[in-house]
């Protein structure tokens, strides 16, 4: 009896339904896009040598396996634990969104101003809201700009905002900010 209990599969089920649905949808998206992303050669040596064959096999197997997994789980509803687990998975996407906004805004507002805004905003968002932490975040942003533009010589295009500055200041901003 004890051996029987020890050999039972123990798995965490929270979030499993959401993961399987997301994976199935992603697999279907890959399957739909397969013809546009791979080639089918007319004069190929063999069927298995086709550039589309093995990716198609892998994606079809993914779709079948995730669909079967979902069918096996159909009796299990979407629970409160599933919602909590999915929320935990989505939380990191917020920081990817912060970075995407930063990347889009740098050509418009400049590397230094956006680095200052991003560093201070993320510091505030993470709960470090004292003047000391915000000052350290601003210092970090300035050091980052000096490191990348000054010491490493990374060529970051000047911002559109710099175009409205007077001549000498505009040149300085484009080169160093």
Alpha helices in the chain (DSSP H): 2-6, 16-37, 53-72, 80-109, 111-125, 131-145, 167-176
Examine the domain organization and report whether 31 and 99 are in the same domain: no
Decide if 83 is inside a domain.
no
Examine the domain organization and report whether 167 and 135 are in the same domain: yes
**pLDDT tens digits, 100-153:** 999 999 888 888 889 999 999 999 999 999 999 999 999 999 999 888 887 887
Q: Specify the pLDDT at position 118.
A: 95
Q: Specify the pLDDT at position 5.
A: 55
Q: Specify the pLDDT at position 150.
A: 78
Total domains, the chain: 2
Decide if 88 is inside a domain.
no
Q: Specify the pLDDT at position 77.
A: 67
Q: Model confidence at 176, in pLDDT bands (50, 70, 90)?
A: low
Structure token pair of residue 50: 């086709």
Going by C-alpha positions, the residue among 97, 92, 146, 132 that lies closest to residue 118 is 97
Q: Specify the pLDDT at position 139.
A: 96
Q: Specify the pLDDT at position 172.
A: 76
**Which one is predicted more confidently, 171 or 102?**
102
Helix axes 53-72, 16-37, angle to 10 degrees: 160
Look at residue 3 and tell me whether its pLDDT is greater than 60. Answer: no
Q: Specify the pLDDT at position 148.
A: 86
Model confidence, pTM:
0.60
Q: Specify the pLDDT at position 157.
A: 74
**pLDDT tens digits, 4-41:** 555 555 555 677 778 888 999 999 999 999 888 877 77
Q: Specify the pLDDT at position 64.
A: 96
Q: Model confidence at 167, in pLDDT bands (50, 70, 90)?
A: confident
Range of the domain at 66: 2-78
Judge contact between 38 and 51, C-beta under 8 A: yes
Examine the domain organization and report whether 115 and 72 are in the same domain: no
Which of 78, 112, 146 is the endpoint of a domain? 78
Examine the domain organization and report whether 66 and 101 are in the same domain: no
């Amino acid at each position: 009896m004890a051996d029987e209990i020890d050999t039972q599969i123990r798995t965490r089920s929270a979030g499993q339904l959401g993961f399987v649905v997301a994976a199935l949808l992603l697999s279907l998206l890959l399957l739909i896009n397969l013809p546009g992303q791979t080639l089918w050669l007319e004069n190929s040596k063999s069927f298995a040598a086709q550039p589309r064959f093995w990716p198609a096999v892998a994606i079809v197997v993914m779709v079948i396996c995730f669909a079967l997994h979902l069918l096996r789980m159909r009796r299990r509803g979407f629970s409160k634990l599933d919602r909590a687990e999915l929320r935990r998975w989505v939380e990191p996407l917020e920081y990817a969104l912060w970075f995407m906004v930063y990347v889009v805004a740098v050509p418009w507002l400049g590397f230094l101003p956006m680095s200052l805004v991003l560093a201070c905003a993320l510091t505030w968002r993470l709960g470090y809201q004292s003047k000391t932490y915000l000052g350290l975040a601003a210092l970090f942003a300035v050091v980052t700009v000096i490191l990348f533009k000054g010491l490493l010589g990374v060529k970051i295009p000047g911002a559109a905002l710099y175009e409205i500055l007077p001549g000498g200041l505009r040149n300085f901003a484009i080169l160093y900010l």
